[in-house]
Structure 1
Amino acid sequence: MDTTALLWLIGAAGSGKTATGWAVFRELAAAGVRAAFVDGDQVGMAYPAPPGDRDNEHVKARGLGALWAGYRAAGVQCVVAAGGVGTAATVADFAAQVPGAAMTVVELTVDAAERQARLIGRGSADLVEPAAALAAAFDRAPLTEHRVDTGGRTVDEVARLVLDRVGRPAAGAGPWPPRRFPAPEPIAGERVPLLWVCGATGVGKSTVAFPVFLALLAAGERAAYIDLAQVGWARPEAPGDPGGHLLRARNFGALWRSHRAAGSRVLVVSGSGGGPADMRRYLDAVPDCDPLVVRLDARPDVLAERVLMRSKGIGVELPGDELRGLAGADLDRAVAAAQAEAVRLAADGVGAVHLDTSDRSPEQLAAGIHARLVRRGGGAAAP
């Protein structure tokens, strides 16, 4: 029987699910609990959504299930998941993906005025009305007895309230077991296009790759998007798997299988895959894909400026951004590490296509990559 704990945070948009989930994950790991984190939105990016499932909840549920087996095999004690949910049927759908798990559902709440202010502040004014409707539905028919008000509290305060409410998994289960994942099984059917945008930390991988994904959807393609950083959050660090590439590659392959089963016919990937040997692990995990690997480069001064911008919180905020908030000597080390990484990737000859991003906008880069993908037969031209 599966005794791995699943702590699942639900709630309307603006309630603080992702931020709180990451803080809970971080606190558990610091206490010695072998923990993992899953952002429901990040494992559900396979569109267009099927009829009757506007928010793609079934795809998100399958995505959680795809990563669940990998985390269990890696020896995780507790998975912290963050993601909205609309109905009791959706809860049952998610639970079916993790049979036998020790699942606890916590709803995060916040009053209407603060929820609206949060959403507008992050540029999501279009979510104000849907969030209000979902919060009202939760009030009428709560899906869990565990409800935590996030209003007027810091993220860390809310994380502690959640853990005080549901209890903390015991630490001290020993070190991570060896990471031995079975080789990926072949996938039946024709090979499909894969675009992988890689490069040094801070160069702008997701900033370029995600618009390509959106262009594919606009052209009518059934496409999936996977950010490699979001499929392997497991802490404390495991010996024998530097960078977590063994776990990430396993989860990457499993998540793609889930998305392909949902109908995806093009895969867009962003993220660093380590050196050539590690990158081969990722590609071997998706044997049904015909890859186009694009490496983004930038001059050292431009890369330093982009790392600085990330440290100041400029750009899209994603869970686990280790550059955010850095200053002083820590920021200097991050800049030096990114510049060294860029030199190493160039020396290793990573990527069939190399694009210097120093003097080109993300929109220009994305349009050029999309056009190249179309020429290779990897998607229709955007309207």
Structure 2
Amino acid sequence: MRSDPLPLLWLCGPSGVGKSSVGWELFARLSRSGIKTAFLDADQISLCYPLPESGTHRIRAQSLAAIWPNFREEGVRCVVLSGFVDTREEVREYTDLLPEAALTVCRLRVDPAELRERFIARGWRPDLVAEAVAEAELLDLSDFADICLDTDGRTVSEVARMVRERAGGWPPGGPAKTPTGPAETPTGPAPMPGGSASCPVAPPTSGPVPVLWLSGADAVGKSTVGYEVFTQIIRTGVRAAYVDLKQIGALRPAAADDPDGHRLKARNLAALWAGYGAAGARCLIVSGHADRDDTVRGYAELLPGAALTVCRLHAGPATLAERVARRGGGGGPAIPGDEMKGLDSGALRRVAERAAGEAAALDRVKAGDLRVETDGRSVREVAGEVRALLGDWPN
């Protein structure tokens, strides 16, 4: 493993300014140029609620530090992080735990009128627009960032280009041949060994740790239902954790022996759960693909003591086509790297056909411990049935 500092570019700014969109664009550009790059949205590594007394930034910093060695083992050349921060003291919470990071903080800003337009255009929580504008005004009084970039009237692509220019052609060194992670295996999925110094596993508990994994075909609603289950549980006062596997394994170019990223995702999941468990989380909800029994076993081996239940969501071809089209048009929650967004009708039709084929294949092999039909049902209704099938879960 390398010991030289690993470049970390942190994009911050008010809600709605475009941190995640610009971060993903940078990630995509760098990886296409041959630079092995990782992307993280800070919101996705702190979903443990009710929050521990240490607060949001402490648990995010601990999570980032826990998964950092896993990215290094995969040969990552740089990391792009998007997330809110507004003081030097908050930034220091992260840098204190990341001595091997060469951090550049870039604050994105936009005038209030355009920020309102962007925020409302997202279609998510328009009631928070006033709060976002107030955040922006306070940030404009700050001086903690290394770079401040005005994004008014600029596209995501233009802002991404300008970020790299202002950061001196970040990352330092440009394209280079990098390690591709552990040695390739001739056939089959990548090995996912047990815990190591770079992959902490969840601490022992007084009993099995309840873990619910929402799986299924593309566009079936794994993440949406998983987050709804998580929300319903924390509303009861139970401290729970949620992880979307796609959001903790964004690394490109992918390792030749691990094209789906399961090795990295499994290690990062174990590292995150170690921190969430130590913070008092009583259960874990996971969303992501689980189309093979050996894939699931690979994750389970890194979560010793877990009582794992895989719940497969199902939808028919017409429903999947409708959901794919909605995502293509920008509907649903804003997810960094949603590859359906913006596709033309022909491409969306092909995505829907593949999803329908995948759903049929999963039905044939009866994948998962539970199967829940989602056709014609709301997210809340599906989440309610999942919880009903689980009984008194997570108790």
TM class, shorter-chain normalised? over 0.9
Cα distance in 1 for partners of 2:72, 2:10 equals 16
> Is the partner of 1:104 in helix, strand or coil?
strand
Residue 71 of structure 1: aligned partner: 71
Residue 20 of structure 1: aligned partner: 22
- 1:172-199, Cα deviation, whole Å (9 max, x unpaired): 2245132676512462113221111110
1:232 aligns with 2:232: no
Output aligned runs, 1:232-381, within 5 Å.
232-373=249-390, 375-379=391-395
Task: Give the stretch that moved more between structures: 222-231 or 343-352.
Answer: 343-352
Residue 176 of structure 2: aligned partner: 172
Residue 38 of structure 2: aligned partner: 36
1:275·1:348 contact (CA, 8 Å) conserved in 2? no
CA gap 1:127/1:95 in 2 versus in 1, 3 angstroms? farther
1:73·1:181 contact (CA, 8 Å) conserved in 2? no
Gaps of 5+ in 1: none
AA at the equivalent of 1:316: P
> Is the partner of 1:41 in helix, strand or coil?
helix
Residue 214 of structure 1: aligned partner: 231
Cα distance in 1 for partners of 2:357, 2:90 equals 45
- Shift of residue 324 of structure 1? 1.5
- Shift of residue 2 of structure 1? 3.6
TM-score by length of 2: 0.90
Cα distance in 2 for partners of 1:348, 1:363 equals 27
CA gap 1:144/1:204 in 2 versus in 1, 3 angstroms? same
Cα distance in 2 for partners of 1:21, 1:158 equals 10
- Shift of residue 372 of structure 1? 3.2
2:372·2:385 contact (CA, 8 Å) conserved in 1? no
AA at the equivalent of 1:187: P
- 1:94-120, Cα deviation, whole Å (9 max, x unpaired): 112322211111111111221222223
- Shift of residue 202 of structure 1? 0.7
Task: Give the stretch that moved more between structures: 164-173 or 217-226.
Answer: 164-173
Residue 142 of structure 2: aligned partner: 141
Cα distance in 2 for partners of 1:92, 1:370 equals 40
Residue 131 of structure 2: aligned partner: 130
- Shift of residue 209 of structure 1? 1.5
> Is the partner of 2:44 in helix, strand or coil?
coil
2:38·2:78 contact (CA, 8 Å) conserved in 1? yes
Q: Which of 4, 7, 14 matches 1:5?
A: 7
- Shift of residue 331 of structure 1? 2.3
> Is the partner of 1:102 in helix, strand or coil?
strand
Cα distance in 2 for partners of 1:360, 1:145 equals 48
AA at the equivalent of 2:238: E
Identical-pair percentage: 41
Cα distance in 2 for partners of 1:296, 1:345 equals 10
- Shift of residue 254 of structure 1? 0.9
Task: Give the stretch that moved more between structures: 342-351 or 154-163.
Answer: 342-351
> Is the partner of 1:243 in helix, strand or coil?
coil
AA at the equivalent of 1:213: F
Paired residues in the alignment total: 376
Cα distance in 1 for partners of 2:258, 2:21 equals 27
Task: Give the stretch that moved more between structures: 326-335 or 196-205.
Answer: 326-335
Q: Which of 240, 247, 250 matches 1:223?
A: 240
Cα distance in 1 for partners of 2:202, 2:247 equals 24
Cα distance in 1 for partners of 2:202, 2:380 equals 36
CA gap 1:119/1:71 in 2 versus in 1, 3 angstroms? same
AA at the equivalent of 1:189: T
Task: Give the stretch that moved more between structures: 11-20 or 299-308.
Answer: 299-308
AA at the equivalent of 1:80: V
Cα distance in 1 for partners of 2:126, 2:155 equals 22
> Is the partner of 2:261 in helix, strand or coil?
helix
CA gap 1:153/1:341 in 2 versus in 1, 3 angstroms? same
2:85·2:91 contact (CA, 8 Å) conserved in 1? yes
- Shift of residue 48 of structure 1? 1.0
Residue 151 of structure 1: aligned partner: 152
Residue 188 of structure 2: aligned partner: none
- Shift of residue 147 of structure 1? 0.5
- 1:215-262, Cα deviation, whole Å (9 max, x unpaired): 111111101110011010000122011211111111111111121122
CA gap 1:138/1:360 in 2 versus in 1, 3 angstroms? closer
Residue 105 of structure 2: aligned partner: 105
Cα distance in 2 for partners of 1:186, 1:31 equals 36
* Root-mean-square deviation (Å): 1.9
2:202·2:271 contact (CA, 8 Å) conserved in 1? no
Task: Give the stretch that moved more between structures: 115-124 or 159-168.
Answer: 115-124
- Shift of residue 357 of structure 1? 1.2
